[in-house]
Structure 1
Amino acid sequence: MSITKRFIIALIFSLPMLIQMVLMPWGVMLPGGHFTQLGLTTVVMLVAARPFLQSAWASFKKHHSNMDTLVAIGTVTAYSYSIYAMITGQAVFFESAALVVTFVLLGQVFEERMRRNASNAVEKLMNLQAKDAEVIRDGQTVVIPLAQVVAGDVIRVKPGQKIAVDGTIIEGTSTIDEAMVTGESMPAVKKVGDKVIGATMNQTGTFLFRADKVGNDTMLAQIVALVKKAQTSHAPIQNLTDKVSDIFVPVVLIISILTFMVWFSLLGASLGVSLIFAVSVLVIACPCALGLATPTALMVGTGRSAKLGVLIKNGDVLEAVNDVKTVVFDKTGTITVGQPVVTDIVGDQTATLKIAAALEASSEHPLATAIIKRAEADQVQSTAQLADFKAIEGKGVTATLDQATAFVGNDKLLADATISATLKAEMRRLQNEAKTVVLVGMNQQVIGLIAIQDTPKATSQAAIQALKERGLKTVMLTGDNQLVAQAIAKQVGIDQVIADVLPSDKAAHVQALQKNGKVAFVGDGINDAPALTAADVGIAMGSGTDIAIDAGGIVLVKNDLRDVVTALELSQKTFDRIKLNLFWAFVYNVLGIPVAAGLFYTLGITLSPELAGLAMAFSSLSVVTSSLLLNRTRLKSQQRTVAA
């Protein structure tokens, strides 16, 4: 039976006794008197309280105690004594047993609802995915259910339709709203060769794409799975809660027994009054709020991070983040774009690009691709006739262009060509900046230079600066040469560079850095997986390989390095909220016990079992509310992103 149903049953059967308690000063009593109360309370104990009793008994047989132990002992004591009192003609406390169960269940209903809301926020993404897809098979267009789509299918998407699964555009262009997955508010422009994400919304154009990932392999399905795993994970700090509860419960039982003995034996109170104080101690001390402190904050924190495009896989990460001293970055594809691009053109830009693009048009070399892309971006086109194309090993290529000999290549061509002093000085300057310099010329005369480099992402410098503001050391760990690595590091503000590192040695370098404190590693490639695993906190770029994503404890869906700061900040705030919850929950229990034990009885301050149960329920509610406030916590990283 669900907690909600048990609470409803407890509420229905205990409500008449609560009404009697309120109206008793005016002589209002339940029909049937004590027998009616016995019947109502018996239903509550047998149905609503049964799981508490079963849990307490199971723990007792294993020589342990838990939160249910206090509730079970308290309610059974009140119920059993009331039967004895009814037989002997004394005052009964059936309403105490029934109302304690009701209020404890009220706290659990709050918890369950919070858990459900946190989970539903993510699961609703799955419900928003397309129900079917327009697939082209055997030259025919057919609409099939989403479950029947297989990898390799070609799917047509029209404006206003949802994209069925993850894939790659093979025809057409469009703008796509990916906010539901990446959190990015601006629509993304997509063209042939670009990736699309299942369940996102197509806005403007019609396009065809090839299905790459379907079912549980889609990004959306993986996000949901990761967040669910994180929300049910066990943060190491929870071990402290378990240890506290294991000691706290026996101590409370001893205090409860001592309370009864002091009131009954030393102060001469009646058996009923002495039991009421003892039961109140048991109920007020029930550490339900302690039990809620960690999981509620964990669920809210990981749920919010998922909405921001940061997937936190487990509770271990939250605790490790707090002590991170150093953040280590892979270079290619993490700090940099991962593709060479033209950064400088020296000389006549149009003429230089025309010649270079004409000669490199048939090449698949990454540097040639960069030149072609720059020519397209600058709308530079060559109409010259190309002939006698020839590759010169180790130097470059030559061809006849408009009856003149053109060449494109590296500085080894200078053995066969001449270059002005100005261009030669510029070539050295660019090379000192760790850029690859392509020489472009006609008839053995260099007329221009094209500098190519894998440039930093637009957000890398801001991300590194934000990490420094948090007092963290930044390190670049790369297999690239020292000169190139230093140039990139200087552009983005990295503190330390470790270059010329073999993939197999990356983990060893991370372990060496760990001697000075905990380390977070950010990477995206297969060669980064060992370092991601070795680091105290592994942060994988969402565009990276599946192996890297599996190895990382945090995944950045939007591939924005600024989200490293968001991940660290939100993880720290979530962990801080767990500690705050634990502190207040524990203080509440400690402060409530003396009141429940009757220490302030002479001042007229007492706490009956039912009021203790109500107070305990609101203690749990306060912890849940505290956790939910994480959704409203301001993040400096997000304010900085908006400002940018």
Structure 2
Amino acid sequence: MKIATRFWVSLVLSLPMLIEMILMPFTNFMLPGGHWTMFVLTTLVMLISARPFVTSAWASFQKHHSNMDTLVAIGTATAYIYSIYAMLTGKAVFFESAAFVITFVLLGQVLEEKMRDNASDAIEKLVNLQAKEAEVQRDGQFVKIPLAEIVAGDLIRVKPGQKVAVDGTIVEGTSTIDESMVTGESMPVSKAKGDNVIGSTINSNGTFIFKAEKVGDDTMLAQIVELVKKAQNSHAPIQNLTDKVSDIFVPVVLIIAIATFLVWYVILGANVADALIFAVSVMVIACPCALGLATPTALMVGTGRGAKMGILIKNGEVLEAVNDVKTVVFDKTGTITVGKPEVTDVIGDTKQIIAVAAGLEESSEHPLATAILTYAKAQAITAKPVQDFQAIEGKGVQAQVEGQKAFVGNDKLLADVQISADLKAQMQTLQNEAKTVVFVGLNNQVIGLIAIQDAPKATSKAAMAALHARGLKTVMLTGDNQRVAESIAKQVGIDEVIADVLPADKADHIKHLQHSGSVAFVGDGINDAPALTTANVGIAMGSGTDIAIDSGGIVLIKNDLRDVDTALALSKKTFNRIKLNLFWAFIYNVLGIPVAAGLFYGLGLTLSPEIAGLAMAFSSLSVVTSSVLLGKTKISAHPATV
């Protein structure tokens, strides 16, 4: 039976007893049937509404554990069983206490469930963003078909105002697209042939045709929804502490309740009914039901808000790890820089150098290879055919070109290679200009240089400034040479540069940095995956490879480096809210137990079981409200406002 149904059953059955309790002092009103009517009403409450509490408590007891339901079950059962005894022996009963406690506890759970649903509406809103149908080419004609029937490779036409159905690449036309619902980017993005489009975004003004590449569960929106679901159901390490506290807290409360009864009945001479009232009140007020809500509700709100901002936080462990981060390490290419390097200089016989380099780089997926191939195409230079191609990790590539051994790579390839003094001098000049120098050679002799430059992203400098304002150290970890790396670092404000690093060694450098404190690593490439996994917090750029995104604990969909600081701020804010929730979960109990136990009875301050149940309900309400308000707090890149 649903919680809401159990609550309404309990409320309806408890109302007659509530009316009697209110009217009795003024009119001596009693329910027809007196105590027997109260017995029947309370029995129905115990059988229908309270049964799950008893079942849960018994299941925990069989496993030699105790939980929050243990206190509710024992407290209400004690009040109910004693009232039956009292009714049969002509003494005062308090059936209404058992019924009211169940009603108020369920009231708290109903409010929790309602706010939990509100807190997790981020997933529902994301799912509702999906287009329901699309204009897909079939037999040379564009026809509307349901989203589920689209397959990879379909050509889809999108008119102004329509939603992009799935992820793909534009093959014809231009437009501007509002991607804010997925990436959080408020400004429309211009798109043309060759550009990627994201499913569920809205086409603004032009008509274009794109080729479907990712459909169904493979689309970015579907992956975002899945990540948010996993994050909201994840388990933060701090929850382990609350679980341990619960195991100890419940037995301690039961001991306090028994001691309360004994003190009042044996030492202070109170009658059984009054002593039992104090004991039951202790059990009810002490029940920290809100404790189980402190972590999950904050996680729901925090991760849901992050998704709307284009920041995917994968689990609760990341939130907790962020609080200890002292150093943020960045990959260079595609992370700090645009990731689209361009050839700026060719030293030597341009046609020969580019023809050889393009031939070797045709089999490579490195960004520098793409820059060389793009330059060759623009200069109408035909790549020379190659044989026996071989990639040398972290150094370059080599192959046979027209019977000669050819190579293209960085200075790590130059151990057994001859290079003229003139080329060495020009190499240093180019590197001082923040350009990456690629060596092209034949038969163990360098025949020329290709200078390639990848400019920093416009947001990189501001991102570093925000992290510095937060008191964090920034480090660049790159395979590029020292001069180029330091030049880029100087432009954006990086504290430390670690250059000439082979891909396989990145994780080792992260481990070394961890000796000085927790490390966050930001990257986007396949070679960044080990570092992302090794770091205490891995942050993957959304434009990166699937393996990098899978390895990161946080994914920045907008590829805006300033979101690193925002992600850290949101994570800290969420984790701090979890700690605040834990405070609210316990404060009612800590303050209420002495009152419930009757320590202030002489001052006229007491706490009946039903009022204790209401206070417990408000404890849960406070926790969930605190979590919901997390969605309204200001998250800024400036640490002073976080």
Aligned to 1:65: 66
Q: Distance in 2 between matches of 1:388 and 1:554?
A: 42
Amino acid aligned to 1:156: R
Q: Is the 8 A contact 1:476 1:494 kept in 2?
A: yes
What secondary structure sits across from 2:290 in the alignment? helix
Structure 1 segment 454-493 matched on structure 2, within 5 A: 454-493=454-493
Q: Distance in 2 between matches of 1:343 and 1:24?
A: 93
TM-score, structure 2 as length reference:
0.85
CA 372–602 in structure 1, closer or farther in 2 if over 3 Å, else same: farther
Aligned to 1:181: 182
Q: Deviations over 1:515-549 (max 9, x none)?
A: 11111111111111111111110111111111111
Pairing 1:142–2:130 present: no
Q: Is the 8 A contact 1:341 1:455 kept in 2?
A: no
Structure 1 segment 13-28 matched on structure 2, within 5 A: 13-27=13-27, 28=29
Q: Is the 8 A contact 1:163 1:200 kept in 2?
A: yes
Aligned to 1:622: 622
Aligned to 1:542: 542
Q: Is the 8 A contact 2:584 2:622 kept in 1?
A: no
Q: Is the 8 A contact 2:133 2:144 kept in 1?
A: yes
Pairing 1:571–2:571 present: yes
Pairing 1:210–2:197 present: no
Aligned to 1:164: 165
Q: Is the 8 A contact 2:135 2:156 kept in 1?
A: yes
Amino acid aligned to 2:521: F
Amino acid aligned to 1:544: G
CA 270–188 in structure 1, closer or farther in 2 if over 3 Å, else same: same
Q: Distance in 1 between matches of 2:577 and 2:26?
A: 47
Q: Is the 8 A contact 2:436 2:484 kept in 1?
A: no
Q: Is the 8 A contact 1:280 1:597 kept in 2?
A: yes
Aligned to 2:412: none
Aligned to 2:119: 118
Aligned to 1:329: 330
Pairing 1:56–2:57 present: yes
Task: Measure how far apart 1:368 and its partner are.
Answer: 6.2
Q: Distance in 1 between matches of 2:584 and 2:494?
A: 41
CA 437–97 in structure 1, closer or farther in 2 if over 3 Å, else same: closer
CA 252–194 in structure 1, closer or farther in 2 if over 3 Å, else same: same
Amino acid aligned to 1:288: C
What are structure 2's unaligned runs of at least 5 residues? 347-356, 363-368, 387-418, 439-449
Q: Distance in 1 between matches of 2:254 and 2:305?
A: 39
Q: Is the 8 A contact 1:178 1:184 kept in 2?
A: yes
Task: Measure how far apart 1:479 and its partner are.
Answer: 1.2
Q: Distance in 2 between matches of 1:53 and 1:78?
A: 14
Q: Deviations over 1:194-239 (max 9, x none)?
A: 1111111111111111111111111111111111111111100001
Pairing 1:248–2:249 present: yes
Aligned to 2:365: none
Q: Is the 8 A contact 1:230 1:302 kept in 2?
A: yes
Aligned to 1:632: 632
CA 24–134 in structure 1, closer or farther in 2 if over 3 Å, else same: same
Q: Distance in 2 between matches of 1:249 and 1:367?
A: 66
Pairing 1:192–2:199 present: no
Q: Distance in 1 between matches of 2:529 and 2:277?
A: 60
Structure 1 segment 281-360 matched on structure 2, within 5 A: 281-341=282-342
Q: Distance in 1 between matches of 2:376 and 2:281?
A: 80
Q: Distance in 2 between matches of 1:249 and 1:520?
A: 39
What secondary structure sits across from 1:455 in the alignment? coil
Aligned to 1:351: none
Q: Deviations over 1:8-50 (max 9, x none)?
A: 2111211222222222212232222222211221121111111
CA 155–370 in structure 1, closer or farther in 2 if over 3 Å, else same: same
Q: Distance in 2 between matches of 1:372 and 1:243?
A: 65
Amino acid aligned to 1:291: G
Q: Distance in 1 between matches of 2:451 and 2:158?
A: 40
What secondary structure sits across from 1:210 in the alignment? strand
CA 216–638 in structure 1, closer or farther in 2 if over 3 Å, else same: farther
Task: Measure how far apart 1:333 and its partner are.
Answer: 0.6
Q: Distance in 2 between matches of 1:236 and 1:388?
A: 58
Aligned to 1:518: 518
Amino acid aligned to 1:222: Q
Structure 1 outlier segments of 4+, above 6 Å: 342-345, 360-365, 368-373, 386-391, 425-428, 638-641
Amino acid aligned to 1:139: G
What secondary structure sits across from 1:328 in the alignment? strand
Aligned to 2:597: 597
Q: Distance in 2 between matches of 1:266 and 1:640?
A: 57
CA 218–387 in structure 1, closer or farther in 2 if over 3 Å, else same: closer
Q: Is the 8 A contact 1:370 1:452 kept in 2?
A: no
Q: Distance in 1 between matches of 2:592 and 2:383?
A: 89
Q: Deviations over 1:26-84 (max 9, x none)?
A: 22322222222112211211111111100100011111100000000001011111111
Q: Is the 8 A contact 1:344 1:451 kept in 2?
A: yes
Amino acid aligned to 1:489: A
What are structure 1's unaligned runs of at least 5 residues? 346-359, 376-385, 394-414, 419-424, 439-449
Aligned to 2:33: 32
Amino acid aligned to 1:105: L
Q: Distance in 2 between matches of 1:229 and 1:598?
A: 46
Q: Is the 8 A contact 2:358 2:383 kept in 1?
A: no
Q: Is the 8 A contact 2:469 2:638 kept in 1?
A: no
Task: Measure how far apart 1:623 and its partner are.
Answer: 1.1
Q: Is the 8 A contact 2:569 2:639 kept in 1?
A: no
CA 148–8 in structure 1, closer or farther in 2 if over 3 Å, else same: same
Q: Distance in 2 between matches of 1:70 and 1:160?
A: 57
Q: Distance in 1 between matches of 2:544 and 2:116?
A: 31
Task: Measure how far apart 1:85 and its partner are.
Answer: 1.1
The share of aligned pairs that are identical, in percent, is: 75
Q: Distance in 2 between matches of 1:551 and 1:523?
A: 10
